[in-house]
Structure 1
């Protein structure tokens, strides 16, 4: 017999994930523990629920409660007022029965679900390009439809990136450069775990053979390469966390920097990148005054882009992280947004991000 938990007047938030036959449920346990602890400290009842156990036609659902010894126990929990979607994988979210459940949550009169779906990279650029304001921050990006797309882009830009449409953490990224004074002028660098491998070719057709081998069967984007600002010969970009606050408005929670690994073509930490402080890196390149102006622009741009992405998606979102680059001239560029942000390692950003989850949940509950 499963024991029942009462809300005792507390607002109720459930973290949504997938069931797992061996470990009860999927997802980052430490992240869930920190979310639950913050919620508890702020007066919320918080539990983990799987898509399978979330039955919306009852007044109680089987959820997992965190115990004081950090173990988990299944209890009968009150139906949530807010569902915080942390389904970890795109493949899970794409399952028809999971999609049906998410739609049921969205149409439920007493439940708010935020972060309903992962973003598709191509759609993000299409959405941002619809607004004159946000279009200024997007690099030239096309879907890779074959050799003709590569030719067309190479004519316009001698430096390109290839990115999987649904990739994450820098997986599958490639970089192409044309250097006309070299005997093998076409170079492609392919990201491995923490290294990259370079192939050289005499012609674009030869280069395409390698690109085709690497991309066949997958949807890829081809994008104008940006010469990112560097410190000590290593490129860096910015990671911005944007969340809705207790008034339901988008606001920047924090800005971090990620510096590329010595042999990596991306700044992602799993690919050898390191965590840095933007307020220390930017002045090295641009000086203190210009750096302040750049960070101010980054904050404003991130909020504008979050609004535009949410508007075009037609769904309600509560948070997103963004990868933005600053080129050698100090110009800002958008690379990616993620609707399920990974936890930020910077302690101040992490603390504020956890609190904002519940400040926005409180706003949603009060709106009902």
Structure 2
């Protein structure tokens, strides 16, 4: 077996695409990173799992830059890039851990927005940077509507802003509800009537939601912005900020998700327009990101690759919004000013995998010396 082999666990459809010769630019970056570090990588998936010792895997044939499938021993270091929503996937990854492999970017349970919030609320130094958040229920909706004038209702499991609802109280007209239009290009507005309340309460019965205070985000030209902070474990095994990207909401819209029409922008310019100090805000954001990663690691020791959404108020205070364990950064690749960050996002986990592999090899050597 190749002693420098790193395994990357990927979704089944991705595995089939690579097998057929269609390799994404992200997977190509993993290969480039491995080559730079003197490592080799293989891709494998759930349907290639045979037993604790063998897996079907795809490795690159250097003679023609194509991938071929073979069966080999389970890699000793595995970087998970598959969704943790699937219980079977979590069971397989945990089985690999139990059989001696170092597996990272995996949690024992699915990371719902509510559960993450509960974990972070336990840390007093982080709790002050969290919006008020309750689990979606009739009682909690009523409670937060009594406390705040603006609320978000978010699915516990969603991405790119899908399924988000927004409630806002107008002083004289009462409550209104906003939700994405069918074409996903804007927000529809309607009165929050008793019928609407009943509809929301029924949603709570069939799907998990959080109800969350709206943070008064700083704005640029009347458009709110927030940050995606990528924090990963590096070649020394420590958490480090890989990079930060500012996201600006579309005109007359509420959320900054680039997949929903938001756009990347220059954080320095945004902060200057808001009379905020870039070095001061950056330090506060980085401190919060490192604190969040360290706090989550207490419960999830096998995490190493996080994308944090962090908002900034008009006073420059950072607020944690949500955490992504399997960020997708294709839109970074298309922006010249973010391309280097995009490359580093792919190279850092491979460098961390190399650190784990060296750690594993040292452990084996130590055991062999003890036995000899």
Q: Does 1:335 align with 2:321?
A: yes
**1:3 maps to which residue?**
none
Q: 116-125 vs 130-139, which deviates more?
A: 116-125
Change in Cα spacing, 1:126 to 1:66, as seen in structure 2 (3 Å) is: same
1:279 is the counterpart of 2:268: yes
CA distance in 1, matches of 2:121, 2:39: 39
Judged with a 3 Å threshold, the aligned counterparts in structure 2 of structure 1 residues 22 and 367 are, in CA distance, closer, same or farther, namely closer
Q: State the shift of 1:62 in Å.
A: 2.1
Q: After TM superposition, where is structure 1 displaced by more than 6 Å over at least 4 residues in a row?
A: 25-28
| 1:282-328 residue CA offsets vs partner (Å, 9 max, x unmatched) | 222124xx221011110111001100011133x31111010000112
2:259 aligned with 1:310: no
Alignment partner of 1:262 is 2:251 = yes
Aligned with 2:311: secondary structure? strand
Confirm or deny: 8 A CA contact 1:17 1:25 kept in the other structure.
no
Q: Which residue of 1 aligns with 2:56?
A: 62
Judge conservation of contact 1:194–1:261 (CA < 8 Å) in 2.
Answer: no
Kept in 2, the 8 Å contact 1:310–1:316? The answer is yes
User: Which residue does 2:128 correspond to in 1?
Assistant: 136
1:103 aligns with 2:94: yes
Aligned twin of 2:79: 84
- Taking the aligned partners of 2:226 and 2:15, their CA distance within structure 1 comes to 38
Q: Report if aligned partners of 2:18, 2:67 keep a CA contact under 8 Å in 1.
A: no
Q: Which residue of 2 aligns with 1:114?
A: 104
| Mapped contact 2:166–2:177 kept (Cα < 8 A) | yes
How far residue 135 of structure 1 moved from its aligned partner, in angstroms, is: 0.8
More helix by share: 2
Q: How do residues 108-187 of structure 1 correspond to structure 2 at under 5 angstroms?
A: 108-109=99-100, 111-117=101-107, 118-146=110-138, 148-182=139-173, 185-187=174-176
Per the alignment, residue 33 of structure 2 pairs with: 38
Taking the aligned partners of 2:140 and 2:23, their CA distance within structure 1 comes to 39
TM (normalized to structure 2)?
A: 0.86
Inter-CA distance 37–56: structure 2 relative to 1 (3 Å threshold): farther
Number of residue pairs matched? 347
Q: 1:352 to 1:22 in 2, by over 3 A?
A: closer
Query: What TM-score do the two structures reach when normalised by structure 1?
Result: 0.87
Return closer, same or farther for 1:75/1:40 CA change in 2, 3 Å cut-off.
farther
SS in 2 for 1:251: strand
Does the C-alpha gap of structure 1 residues 301 and 215 become closer, same or farther in structure 2, counting only changes over 3 Å? Answer: same
Query: 1:36·1:47 contact (CA, 8 Å) conserved in 2?
Result: no
> Gaps spanning 5+ residues in structure 1: where?
1-5
**Are the structure 2 counterparts of residues 22 and 248 from structure 1 closer, same or farther at C-alpha, using a change threshold of 3 Å?**
closer
- Corresponding position of 1:19: 12
Q: Structure 1 residues 28, 236: CA separation in 2 closer, same or farther (over 3 Å shift)?
A: farther
Q: 1:338 to 1:232 in 2, by over 3 A?
A: same
Shift of residue 279 of structure 1?
A: 2.4
For 1:322, what is the secondary structure of its paired residue? strand
CA contact (8 A) 2:48 2:55 kept: yes
- For structure 2, the residue ranges without an aligned partner over 5 or more in a row are 333-337, 361-372
Q: Distance in 2 between matches of 1:250 and 1:162?
A: 31
Aligned twin of 1:360: 352
Tell me the distance in 1 between the aligned counterparts of 2:179 and 2:202.
12
Determine helix, strand or coil for the equivalent of 2:319: strand
Find the counterpart in structure 1 of residue 364 from structure 2. Answer: none
Cα root mean square deviation, aligned: 2.4
